[in-house]
Amino acid sequence: MEISSLQKARYEYTPKLPEMLRNGIADISVKEGEATQSVADQEQIKALFPNTYGKKEIVFQAGKNTSEAKKHAVGVILSGGQAPGGHNVVCGLYDALKSTNPENELFGFKNGPSGLIDDDYLVFTDEYINEYRNTGGFDIIGSGRTKLETDEQFAIAVEVCKKHGITAIVIIGGDDSNTNAAVLAEYFASHNTGIQVIGCPKTIDGDLKNEDIECSFGFDTATKTYSELIGNIERDANSAKKYWHFIKVMGRSASHVALECALETQPNICLISEEVAEKKMSLSQIADYIADSVEKRAAKGMNFGVAVIPEGVVEFVPEFSVLINEINELLAGSKADEFNSLPTWNDKYAFIEKGLTKESMEVFSILPQGIQQQLFLERDPHGNVQVSLIESEKLFSALVADKLAERKAARTYNGKFGALHHFFGYEGRCAFPSNFDSDYCYSLGFNAFMLIQYGYNGYLSKISNLSKPASQWVAGGMPITKMMNMERRHGEDKPVIKKALVELDGKPFKYFEANRDTWAVETCFVYPGAIQYYGPSDVCDITTRTLALEKE
């Protein structure tokens, strides 16, 4: 296989570990802290997780390793969407295993949780794993979105583990995957299987965090990748001086990615979904907000700009949420077939007009026709609108164009408005990890083995103090149940890890809020450039602006 010079150089990069993990595994001891409780719904969560609830948080420190000396066979699973650094979690886990005992084995279950059920695996070797160190992607074993949630699946998992002598499973995933990890851990404990489950916090969306998990892995690299691209576009806009660029970035439930990219690049506009919901902003109000920036910049002779749009923002617009619900009802059951059988869009439009309330029809009618059709063409397996497929960047540029046309007619605006559209999503999920994510992920994997060695089950690998140099990071673990609450899913109350949304009273948003009025009118663009891997630490090892502001 031909490799690039950067890839070859990255194979040889040695990730930095927290000081206490560098001592040698024989000299790492554990310090137990306080017992924990779930973030909400304590009685319900405790009843669902009687064997794994309320356990203590732990921290690793220098001292004699008192864990039982035995051979370990561990399975690892990559679950859900890709995030930069996943390979290094596996590498850190492998290195810790092998440094303890060369006879230890690491099984990689292929293509996500289904690999465990199908007994589809490989056994890692030095030669194999060395080809993936410090590289992006999840192609080391592949990933998948199969959920492990039924007793039948759990029983098969036990059989597969016993067949290979596996006594621990590490699940690398986001909030849903780690919720599954907690449920699996509880099953293993309640059936006295002797098999442990450890989770690792992954998601580029940045919404798997709390007082314990300062940052999910992949967020740093993905936002740096998007910010480089946004900076490039800003520079192009400032050079050509003739286009407004509407840029959608990943992040359906939370706007952490959009906010971080705004802090990195200082665009003229950045929408924050959580603020849209808090202020109950309508589509018209959002369009006016953007149009105000366009008009003020045009008055200064600047008919160009950049607007960053979170992927899921339309779901946070109250009137749009009502519209989506009505459309879901309108096409429920056999009505979908009736709608799809109509021969023309005009016929379908009449069907829609008859079925929606007056208020929702008013919202629907202002949407560009392309967006209207998207709402009816793509359905998820449950028959619902796939909101993530809505091209919100095109929606808002079209609504802004309408607003500007009204202002032109009223003679309050006399500029030129040409819009270009971008969506940055998959570009960031498998990028070469930054030094931060390379170090963080390697530490998470190494630390996961320490949790296994000391016998913990239903814990999340936890590395904290992340705004400081890696040598000052703190390694430990926390029960996954601490992060859980009850939520309504598909008509049932389910225990799930609580998603972390952008906090409107948090320091990152407050900094953005204090500066955005200036950015909206002036050209304050920042050009972050490409991720740097070699050179001064303040260039190569910096973390996100979000984390730096939170830990000020």
| pLDDT of 302 higher than 70 | yes
Q: Tens of pLDDT along 243-279?
A: 999 999 998 889 999 999 999 999 999 999 999 999 9
The model's pTM: 0.95
Is residue 257 within 8 A of residue 542, CB to CB? The reply is: no
Structure token pair of residue 32: 């137990």
| pLDDT of 386 higher than 80 | no
**Paired strand residues for 488:** 493
| pLDDT of 380 higher than 70 | no
Closest residue by Cα to residue 221 from 533, 471, 536, 12 = 533
Q: Tens of pLDDT along 55-84?
A: 999 999 999 999 988 999 999 999 999 999
What mean pLDDT is predicted for residues 394-420?
A: 95
Model confidence band, residue 357 (pLDDT cutoffs 50, 70, 90): very high
- Cα 91 to chain centroid distance, Å, stands at 21
| pLDDT of 148 higher than 80 | yes
Is residue 88 within 8 A of residue 445, CB to CB? The reply is: yes
Express as a percent the part of the chain with pLDDT over 70: 98
Model confidence band, residue 332 (pLDDT cutoffs 50, 70, 90): confident
| Lowest model confidence (mean pLDDT) among 4-18, 119-133, 480-494 | 480-494
Query: What's the CATH number of domain 68-218+433-470, 3.40.50.450, 3.30.1050.10, 3.30.70.3000, 3.20.20.70?
Result: 3.40.50.450
| pLDDT of 315 higher than 90 | no
Q: Tens of pLDDT along 231-248?
A: 999 999 999 999 999 999
Q: In 183-257, which ranges are E strands? A: 196-201, 244-249
- pLDDT of the residue at 390: 85
Model confidence band, residue 2 (pLDDT cutoffs 50, 70, 90): confident
Is residue 282 within 8 A of residue 317, CB to CB? The reply is: yes
| pLDDT of 381 higher than 70 | no
Express as a percent the part of the chain with pLDDT over 90: 87
Model confidence band, residue 1 (pLDDT cutoffs 50, 70, 90): low
What mean pLDDT is predicted for residues 421-432?
A: 96
Q: Can you tell me the distance from the alpha carbon of 264 to that of 224, in angstroms, rounded to the nearest whole number?
A: 8
First to last CA, the chain: 45
| pLDDT of 51 higher than 70 | yes
Is residue 280 within 8 A of residue 398, CB to CB? The reply is: no
What residues does CATH 3.40.50.450 cover in the chain?
A: 68-218+433-470
What residues does CATH 1.10.10.480 cover in the chain?
A: 318-388
| pLDDT of 547 higher than 80 | yes
- pLDDT of the residue at 244: 98
| pLDDT of 353 higher than 90 | yes
CATH class of the 221-311+391-427+501-552 domain in this structure: alpha beta
Q: What is the side-by-side order of every strand in the sheet holding 419-424?
A: 269-270, 305-310, 244-249, 419-424
Q: Tens of pLDDT along 433-492?
A: 999 999 999 999 999 999 999 999 999 999 999 999 999 999 999 999 999 999 987 678
Model confidence band, residue 328 (pLDDT cutoffs 50, 70, 90): confident
Q: Can you tell me the distance from the alpha carbon of 208 to that of 433, in angstroms, rounded to the nearest whole number?
A: 18
| pLDDT of 383 higher than 70 | no
Q: Can you tell me the distance from the alpha carbon of 336 to that of 381, in angstroms, rounded to the nearest whole number?
A: 13
| pLDDT of 96 higher than 70 | yes
Q: Tens of pLDDT along 158-206?
A: 999 999 999 999 999 999 999 999 999 999 999 999 999 999 999 999 9
Q: Can you tell me the distance from the alpha carbon of 382 to that of 25, in angstroms, rounded to the nearest whole number?
A: 49
Model confidence band, residue 337 (pLDDT cutoffs 50, 70, 90): confident
Instruction: Say which residue, 327 or 156, is predicted with more confidence.
Output: 156
Supply the residues annotated as catalytic: 205
- pLDDT of the residue at 491: 73
Question: Which one-letter amino acid corresponds to residue 484?
Answer: M
Question: Which one-letter amino acid corresponds to residue 239?
Answer: S
The second-level CATH assignment, the architecture, of 318-388 is Orthogonal Bundle (1.10)
User: Cβ atoms within 10 A of the Cβ of 514, count?
Assistant: 9
Bridge-based pairing state of the strands 474-479 and 459-464: antiparallel
Q: Can you tell me the distance from the alpha carbon of 36 to that of 34, in angstroms, rounded to the nearest whole number?
A: 6
- pLDDT of the residue at 378: 65
Model confidence band, residue 95 (pLDDT cutoffs 50, 70, 90): very high
What residues does CATH 3.40.50.460 cover in the chain?
A: 221-311+391-427+501-552
